[in-house]
Amino acid sequence: MNNILLVINREYTQRVRKKGFIFTTLLMPVVMLALMFAPALLSGIGSAPEAITVVDNSGKIAPYLIDHYSLPYVISPLPVDSLRTDTDVNTFLVIGEDIIENPTSVSLYHRGGGSIETETLIKDDIKNAIEARRLEDLQLGNLKELLGEVEADVVISSHKIDNQGNESSSNSLTSYLIGIAMSFILYMFIIIYGQLVMMSIIEEKNNRVLEIIVTSIKPTHLMLGKIIGIGAVAITQVIIWALLIAGFITFVLPGIAGDQMFAELAALKAGTLNPADATTDFGVLQVMAMLSSLSYIFSIFGYLILFLIGGFMLYASLYAAIGASVDNAQDGAQLQVFCIVPVIVGLMFAMTIGQNPDSSLATILSMIPFTAPMIMMSRIPAGVPAGEIISSLAILYVSIVAIIWFTAKIYRVGIFMYGKKPNLKELIKWARYK
Amino acid sequence: MDIVKADHVSKQFVGHKALDDVSLAVPEGSIYGLLGPNGAGKTTLLRIINHITAPDSGTVYFCGHQLTQADVNSIGYLPEERGLYKKMKVGEQAMFFARLKGMSKHDASAQLHQWFEKFGITEWWNKKVEELSKGMAQKVQFIITVLHNPKLLIFDEPFSGFDPINAKLLKDEILELRKNGATIIFSTHNMSSVETLCDEITLINKSHNILSGNVNEIRHRFGADRYQFTFAGDERSLLAAFGDRVVSNISSDRNEDGNTRMTLRFAPGTSLHDIIATANDTVALSSFSADLPSMDEIFITSVENNNRKS
């Protein structure tokens, strides 16, 4: 037992003292905060929208085209042939004479790459224009006015409530983004720190330090000590990040935000803010509203640590078995596919599931230990029933015991095997050794 | 008393047998050589004695009782391919290994500083291992191996890669350790070190123990009926004079002073008096002695004979 502590202590202190560790630990929160606010801030900047030149041969569509902010239409009297060679015009739209009867006679020309978004927008606009024109041609009198009266603008205001019916301020887009960010952090930590475990084992195996250590400590204990020591480094990093972000929100944010923004933030929290009146970008406000709640931040990071411990232990023990079965980093890199693929599958499902956190697919994947950490972290910011969190964690932690039991057996045999890279059959054989 | 006794130890790896029914006994306080060609199973046996791997069958006894994990703290092991954590500082690293061996922080630090002073390497304490030369790292490794004053020291190929100065230092240290009561087992290909250091040896070939015993006894046994002559005269006439009493002509070469030195093996039971008389009659004999074979010869003969048999 004492020797496990010595191994943990060595792994931990050797790593946290490294300059690289200190540097990334301090720098990453800055990058994370920048990433959170960047989309909202960037959308305000944008470049000047480029106009679409329209050649309307039918003369029936142009009056119905309504400019978009990002996509104004310019009606051109010039013939198509001259536009083709006019390098000032990058994108132009040619509408056929029989457009009302034949909606397919539309062509879009662009120099360089076209944008799917632009194409979709134009398609919708022309569709609306044709429909409006056809309605008019039917000459049903004041149909347009009638339709206007019937039309309903639906705005959903979403409220999250718990089982007691208490409402909490939440924005599903923001929780989605936070969830994705958390999944991504998990993915990064599991892969990066898992690889550290693998590399550290390969190193010990190659320089034969291992043979000296195993005279004093059981291989299984050595493996556990290594995983726990390196895991502790990861946890340290997450805790420092949580504290840095909390510090930023408490001390730095009030300084840069300004009174106007705070008033709007308060209004948003109280539910009295009309998005149209806000001077600050509504997206930024929503992110701020969530982030400025310290208890929210700490609970998210709390869950992150629980799932990080679980996910890391699970994958790190696989990485340990891989490290023990190979002689060099190249062979290790090939075998680590077995770790990377499930983590990435988890992350990819997390991205889709984040949009629909209560689907049954979400629940199932939350109960599979290999995907559970990423999936759960993408769902938790939007709120998941406590029972589901507990059972997901329970399954995860029980599987860790089973996986470690299995991988320790491979590790124990593998660390003394040199030469040929073993195949799966041999690995299973190793695990069966007494 | 035997400090280590291996009793019918066998170990099988995927596809090959590393040790097959190997028994040996290492007397306490001795320097014991474990010899054998590459791949004979020496390292596997040392690992078993170190409790790193368990034998498939057979038992290893340590100080009379069956070897347990706890006994390992009384063993110091210097593996064949020596390694240290490259990025770790020398002092910290030595402390880590000492504490793994169960030493207290205080003892470890005090003893390490003593050793570092003895080897004149105190200024390395805060250097990273990767900054050291190979010879320097070997010194550190040696200190780590012997630091906890183990009763038994196991060196796997200790002389490989050492320059002559470090090799001498190591030899002296091994003798010093034995003087202080430790038992030393080492495996080696360096036969001259076996002759100068070892009390007993075991020769392993193809996972079998093919020769065990006291070095002097073995050399005398292999050297029976072997005599060396130095003389002036014709070697062919001497051989002719001995006739079929000579079983084999082991070596003959000419000295700088023109004399011939010849080593011959005679048929068992050939009388010494007879041999000397014949030699004196035939050539001008300047010296005559019984010849002990080198460990090199014994090694090669035994292994080749064994390979021929199997």
Round to whole Å and give the CA distance between B203 and B36: 5
In a domain, A159, yes or no: no
pLDDT at B185: 94
In a domain, B302, yes or no: no
Q: Which residue has the higher pLDDT, A318 or B135?
A: A318
Burial of A251 per CB tally in 10 Å (0-12, 13-18, 19+):
exposed
In a domain, A154, yes or no: no
Average pLDDT, chain B: 87
Which residue bears the tokens 């590393």? Answer: B18
Question: Which span out of A179-183, A395-399, A404-408, B223-227 was modeled with the highest average pLDDT?
Answer: A395-399
**Is the pLDDT score of A122 beyond 90?**
no
In this prediction, residue A196 has a pLDDT band, given cuts at 50, 70 and 90, of very high
In this prediction, residue A214 has a pLDDT band, given cuts at 50, 70 and 90, of confident
**Is the pLDDT score of A45 beyond 60?**
no
Round to whole Å and give the CA distance between B100 and B94: 10
pLDDT at A396: 94
Q: Do B160 and B283 share a domain, yes or no?
A: no
pLDDT at B82: 67
pLDDT at A315: 95
Domain tally, chain B: 2
Least confident span in A243-257, A259-273, B16-30, B277-291: A259-273
In a domain, A156, yes or no: no
Of B14, B51, B87, the CB nearest to A215: B51
pLDDT at A40: 58
pLDDT at A330: 86
Q: Domain of B248: which CATH number? A: 3.30.70
pLDDT at B87: 86
Domain extent for A68: 52-145
CA B8 to chain centroid: 21
Task: Report DSSP state, residue A49.
Answer: P
Q: Output phi, psi for A39, to 5 deg.
A: -60, -45
Q: What is the pLDDT of residues A68-96, one digit of tens each?
A: 666 778 887 777 777 777 777 778 888 88
A contact test, residue of B60, B69, B99 with most A CBs within 10 A: B99
Round to whole Å and give the CA distance between B35 and B28: 19
Q: Which residue has the higher pLDDT, A255 or A53?
A: A53
Q: Output phi, psi for A123, to 5 deg.
A: -60, -45
Which residue from B190, B214, B205, B157 is spatially nearest to B301, judged by alpha carbons?
B205
Mean pLDDT, rounded, for A12-23:
91
Q: Domain of A73: which CATH number? A: 3.40.190.10
Q: Do B199 and B124 share a domain, yes or no?
A: yes
pLDDT at A170: 54
**Is the pLDDT score of A257 beyond 50?**
yes
pLDDT at A95: 85
Q: Do A9 and A81 share a domain, yes or no?
A: no
Task: Report DSSP state, residue A208.
Answer: T
Nearest CA in chain B to A210: B83
Which residue bears the tokens 């030899």? Answer: B171
The dihedral through the CA atoms of B309, B190, B85, A213 has a sign that is positive
Round to whole Å and give the CA distance between B156 and B80: 5
SS3 track for B83-146:
CCCCCCEHHHHHHHHHHHCCCCHHHHHHHHHHHHHHCCCHHHCCCEHHHCCHHHHHHHHHHHHH
Q: Do A30 and A177 share a domain, yes or no?
A: yes
Minimal CA separation from A401 to chain B, in Å: 24
Q: What is the pLDDT of residues A335-352, one digit of tens each?
A: 888 899 999 999 999 888
Mean pLDDT, rounded, for B178-191:
89
Asked if A215 and B50 come within 8 Å (Cβ–Cβ), the reply is: yes
Q: Do B107 and B214 share a domain, yes or no?
A: yes
Q: Is A67 touching B (CB cutoff 8 A)?
A: no
Share of chain B above pLDDT 70, in %: 99
Least confident span in A27-41, A185-199, A395-409, B233-247: A27-41
Task: Report DSSP state, residue A277.
Answer: G
* DSSP bridge partners of B201: B33, B213
With a CB cutoff of 8 Å and minimum separation 6, the contacts of A25 are A236, A237, A240, A241
Q: What is the pLDDT of residues B65-112, one digit of tens each?
A: 998 888 888 898 888 776 788 889 999 999 999 998 888 999 999 999
Q: What is the pLDDT of residues A150-173, one digit of tens each?
A: 877 666 665 666 566 665 545 666
Q: Do B122 and B30 share a domain, yes or no?
A: yes
Q: DSSP string of chain B?
A: -EEEEEEEEEEEETTEEEEEEEEEEEETT-EEEEE--TTSSHHHHHHHHTTSS--SEEEEEETTEE--GGGGGGEEEE-SS----TTSBHHHHHHHHHHHTT--HHHHHHHHHHHHHHTT-GGGTTSBGGGS-HHHHHHHHHHHHHTT--SEEEEESTTTT--HHHHHHHHHHHHHHHHTT-EEEEE-S-HHHHHHH-SEEEEEETTEEEEEEEHHHHHHHHTTTEEEEEEES-HHHHHHHHGGGEEEEEEEEE-TTS-EEEEEEEPTT--HHHHHHHHHHHSEEEEEEE-PPPHHHHHHHHHHHHHHH-
Q: Do B133 and B247 share a domain, yes or no?
A: no
Of B51, B97, B102, the CB nearest to A212: B97
**Is the pLDDT score of A46 beyond 50?**
no
Q: Do A399 and A282 share a domain, yes or no?
A: yes
Minimal CA separation from A425 to chain B, in Å: 12
Domain tally, chain A: 2
Q: Is B105 touching A (CB cutoff 8 A)?
A: no
Q: Do A71 and A210 share a domain, yes or no?
A: no
